[in-house]
Amino acid sequence: MSNCGTPFSYCLETTETLSCLFLEILFSLDEQLQLAIHVPVNHGAQHPSKSLVSLAGVTTDAVHTSLSMLQRLLPRAGNNYRQTDASVSAASLVARHWYSTYRQFVSDNQVHGKCWPIRLPGNLWMNGDWHMGVLEGSVGPRQGVAIIMNEFVTKEKAVDMAIAGVGLPVFRSCYHDPSLSAIAEWPLDWFVPYIEGDGVIYRSTIAGYSSIATVLSHYLSQVISGASLSDLAIPILELLHSS
Classified as helix, coil or strand, 126 is strand
User: Is the pLDDT confidence value at 238 over 80?
Assistant: yes
- Contact assessment for residue 66 and residue 218, using Cβ atoms and an 8 Å cutoff: no
**Cα gap 56→113, rounded to integer Å:** 44
pLDDT of the residue at 62 = 92
Question: What are the chain's domains?
Answer: 1-129+202-243 (3.40.190), 132-198 (no CATH)
pLDDT of the residue at 80 = 40
Rg for the chain (alpha carbons), in Å?
19
- Residue bearing the bigger pLDDT, 217 or 16: 217
pLDDT of the residue at 216 = 94
Classified as helix, coil or strand, 72 is helix
Q: Of 47-56, 81-90, 230-239, which has the strongest mean pLDDT?
A: 230-239
pLDDT grade, residue 38 (50/70/90)? low
Residue 175, Cβ neighbours under 10 Å: how many?
20
Amino acid at 215: V
pLDDT grade, residue 6 (50/70/90)? low
Cross-strand partners of 53: 206
